[in-house]
Chain A
């Protein structure tokens, strides 16, 4: 898989306001019900100014897959983590292994679940619905590009201010 093909959902901390619309639309899409506890993306609000929606980053060499003692988790060609429902017994080692809290135990069927980029819908519904356009499907490389551009713009902005 080429670097520009491994896309995942990420939230812009400057734009995310913690409204949880992503959680509701995710649980509706995946579980036909409104229930944040069954959403593949979860919102964290540390305080009113610090909000961020967090979901699977599709890590290279994913620790969740490595941690699974029953080989229930595999990573697909596109990077999405695939859960073998027959093999998973809900032990939760993958949950501990994930640095982002992105893989979770389903409250009812007691096996783990994780973002699959809404493969059946063709695009992640959280991204489509986010009222702030804070979510996007992107790649590590594009994220790095954006960070660079922001930094350089800021640098020149300061420089231009000083030259006045």
Chain B
């Protein structure tokens, strides 16, 4: 079957041995690639209850069947899967750029890294030759510096690198894995898993040809998508970019502000996508083989943060800005650049700072506790300093680097009520109190608080449902979106391009068929999307997560929106959450406790994982 390289690389950092295993074609087709294949490979290569930082916790790197082709947004993605040090369940994150495509040309669909090196190392994958090389000279470097240093050392400027920064080395639980300077596999703390293995980077050079099953039709289809990407479906990303959301969310009163104390921000006009583009965006660039352009590169030209350059998106802008009460774009951009420099998830970083500020304003943390920083909401300098401290685990940063869940457990004093997370993963920029379809999506997301596992906010924000009420039927809506999102992350295509798949699964099935030569149907793909969701759920069940973890942050359930406007008084009650969960589990064909049933697993051809759903009594 074309599309797949047909090989999995195993790297054992303890023994220093590497080994290549053929990819099972059946598994490739049923789990597609990306996170689907990654989750399945993780399950097959780990023991229940493994500690995220144990050498026995595999770090799985995958690309998808489309990688290496010139499919717009699809040629260039990769995914990391492991057990998350934040949720202790599924950890997964994707990134685009040039790394995934290089890995495919090197001849691999997946790399499974186990063990722990005695000292810092990096893995150098040069087509068939795989070496584990000393990385002591790279310790302390940022991911971008590491990329440059490895290219210099190996003497090839087209080598592609995925690396961790200081945060990953120091096991900061929100550490990410970065490639191409500004692209991050950001969420769920997988950079710390990499750091726990003493693995600084993975460098790849691939020289193989990538061919597709039906080249002429494929090229025609590429051309068609290039045209679609010039149209309305991708317009947002080419123009204002995701920061357009600032004013949209604010007007709907669904932009969590000051650690969820408000749902709209009086300073929104100052940090809008409009102002960002007018004052800071220097160029909008694209990933390898992509025909969209989304990456808004921002440059600060004056002031205390002069010469800062970084990419900005809505989520990170929101987290480092409104969520901390900050209305200064230059400081937000600096916070983002520092997040990239140390290698941390800037969404979580901003939410953690917002949490610390809330603790400060409530007298739970004092200025002394906070290394002398004035942590009132809105203090932009404090946000910048705190991001740096988290990245380095310095001073109070050492505690905050644990993420809001673990940090609040250590702080005590009711701080748990201020810790806005789901399954240990910090919230993102959607006020769930007034977006109840999104609230369900977030609650059941297998990687913790996240908008990118379902996109269910779209129903609420676009007014397709009454966003202020919880009702039956939302479960099916979330389920269908999840299945599609699982495919997007497994094929791997970019979520920003989702609108260009006019016929959604039919288009994706056609793409899969043209690339692989296997006659894929929309129905079979749909089933694969569902299968991946079930595999992820089984991952979480095996690691001890259950219905109690499919929940919402304290403030979402106990603190009604105080602001005047369309969302005033909104929150999600326990009864509403239960109604939504029951409805969703039913739509999924799971038990009331959210466990996949024997019938469901049979229907999806997953009998071999039945032992997780129905463990034998010891």
Contacts and interface: CB of A to CB of B under 8 A. Distances in A.
A10 interface: no
B285 A18 contact: yes
B210 interface: yes
A85 B75 CA distance: 33
Interface stretch (B286-294, B535-543, B581-589): B286-294
Given A17-B284, A34-B68, A48-B309, A24 B289 contact: yes
A34 B285 CA distance: 21
Nearest to B230: A131
Contacts of B219: 28
A131 B69 contact: no
A31 B212 CA distance: 13
A35 B289 contact: no
Contact of B283 (A19, A21, A48): A48
B2 to A, nearest CB: 11
A35 B286 CA distance: 18
Interface in B168-208: 181-182, 207-208
A19 B311 contact: no
Nearest to A29: B219
A38 B69 CA distance: 14
Interface residues on A, range: 20 to 34
Given A20-B288, A21-B289, A51-B285, A34 B70 contact: yes
Contacts of B291: 19, 21, 131
A52 to B, nearest CB: 12
Contacts of A131: 72, 226, 229-230, 286, 291, 293
Contact of A37 (B207, B286, B295, B297): B207
A91 interface: no
Interface in B58-85: 68-70, 72, 75
B68 A17 contact: no
Given A35-B208, A37-B207, A24 B70 contact: yes
Contacts of B592: none
Given A17-B284, A20-B289, A48 B209 contact: no
Interface in B142-167: 158
Contact of B282 (A20, A33, A49, A51): A49
Nearest to B283: A49
Contacts of A24: 69-70, 75, 289
B297 A48 contact: yes
Interface residues of B, number: 38
Contacts of B289: 19-21, 24
A129 B285 CA distance: 17
Nearest to B157: A44
Nearest to B208: A35
A33 to B, nearest CB: 3
A122 interface: no
Interface string B43-56: 00000000000000
A35 B101 CA distance: 10
Contacts of A146: none
Interface string B264-306: 0000000000000000001111111111010101010000000
Contacts of B231: none
B412 to A, nearest CB: 43
B136 interface: no
A49 B283 CA distance: 6
A51 B513 CA distance: 34
B181 to A, nearest CB: 6
A76 to B, nearest CB: 28
A103 B97 CA distance: 26
Nearest to B212: A34
B283 A17 contact: yes
Interface string A31-49: 1111111100000000111
Given A17-B284, A18-B285, A19-B286, A33 B209 contact: yes
A127 B482 CA distance: 39
A25 interface: yes
B598 to A, nearest CB: 43
Contacts of A17: 283-286, 293
Given A17-B284, A19-B286, A131-B226, A35 B209 contact: yes
B105 interface: yes
Contacts of A49: 282-283, 285, 297, 299, 309
Given A20-B289, A21-B289, A34 B182 contact: no
Contact of A18 (B158, B215, B286, B299): B286
Contact of B210 (A20, A25, A35): A35
A49 B70 CA distance: 22
B15 interface: no
A51 B226 CA distance: 20
B215 A28 contact: yes
Interface of A: 17-21, 24-25, 28, 31-38, 47-49, 51, 107, 129, 131-132
21 contacts: A17-B286, A17-B293, A18-B285, A19-B287, A19-B288, A19-B293, A24-B289, A32-B215, A34-B209, A35-B209, A48-B181, A48-B283, A48-B285, A48-B295, A48-B309, A49-B282, A49-B283, A51-B285, A129-B226, A131-B72, A131-B291
Interface of B: 68-70, 72, 75, 98, 105, 158, 181-182, 207-212, 215, 219, 223, 226, 229-230, 282-291, 293, 295, 297, 299, 309, 311
A-B pairs, top 3 by smallest CB distance, nearest first, are A33-B209, A24-B70, A19-B286
Given A20-B288, A21-B70, 17 more contacts: A17-B284, A17-B285, A18-B285, A19-B286, A19-B288, A21-B72, A21-B291, A24-B70, A31-B209, A33-B211, A36-B158, A48-B283, A48-B285, A49-B283, A49-B297, A51-B285, A131-B229
